[in-house]
Amino acid sequence: MEGYATADQVWGAALVFARLGAILMLLPGLGETYVPPRIRLSLALVITLVVWPIAAPVLPALPESVGGMAGWVIREVATGLMIGAILRAFMTALATAGEVVSLQTTLSFAQSTNPMQAQPGSTLSAFLTLLGVTLLFANNTHHLFLAGLAGSYELIAPVRPLITADFVELAVRTLADSFMLGIQLAAPVIVFAIIFNLASGLVGRVMPQFQVFFATAPLSILLGLSIFTLSLGVVGTIFIDRYRSLAQIFAGGAGG
């Protein structure tokens, strides 16, 4: 081993791989179940070779005991999982928007497999989540992910105490913001549904013999999907701007 790398160098690379591997396991687009594990493992190894020289000054020295080594590895894995979970949690904004739009257009019964969540969901929710991942790569937001991998060692250095309270606060705020953003993205369809249902109710009260449901159900789907389609550009722009702001929190360390 000494002919290729010292024990301290191998130890430092292992710590970097522990954090980066945990992040890539949850990172949107790269950490999905449909991505082969070998691809993710190879990507983590390649990025480790790039990030290790940057993170080397802040890495701890090689412990003398196996217990100490295990403790550092567990700490880095936990840190990576927390960072990856926060970046993935914000993707629920699109899932929330899709579910709300489905409810308002009476399409919530149309269920399909959501590859981003590995569970069944409405068709519109699956469509929006896939659209979000496409926008992340189309707008080069994944570059912020790569910068955040290196910047996390300045923001959360291994030799410093683990800021669990700050992580919890950021996670709670991220989930709250993602839910609020999901409602805001679905706002045009919500407003349409309120007005349309009020008008349908008035027609039903004025003309009790008129079969309101059979006449308004197709119109609700057609008009609701039309408004949803017209608002897709705004939905994508707002989401990608908000997501880039979140990714900048971790990427800022690399820029500094």
How far is the first Cα of the chain from the last one, in angstroms, to the nearest whole number?
Answer: 35
Residue range 212-231, pLDDT digits in tens:
777 778 888 888 889 998 98
pLDDT digits 0-9 by tens, 41-95: 888 888 888 888 888 888 888 888 888 888 888 888 888 888 888 888 888 888 8
121 membership: H or E segment, kind and range: strand 119-122
What local confidence, expressed as pLDDT, does residue 181 receive?
92
pLDDT in the model for residue 254: 45
> How many Å apart are CA 200 and CA 213, to the nearest integer?
8
pLDDT tens profile 153-209: 877 778 777 777 778 888 888 889 999 999 999 999 999 989 988 888 888 788 877
Q: How far is CA 144 from CA 17, 95, 186, 243, in A?
A: 19, 22, 27, 10
pLDDT at 245 over 70: yes
Listed range (37-41, 120-124, 197-201, 251-255) with the worst mean pLDDT? 251-255
pLDDT reported for residue 191: 92
pLDDT value, residue 1: 44
Q: Please give the Cα distance from 38 to 135 (Å, whole number).
A: 25
Determine contact, residues 160/152, Cβ cutoff 8 Å: no
- Cα–Cα distances in angstroms (integers) from residue 16 to residues 13, 51, 144, in the given order: 5, 8, 18
pLDDT, mean of residues 126-142: 84
pTM: 0.78
Give the residue extent of every domain in the chain.
7-255
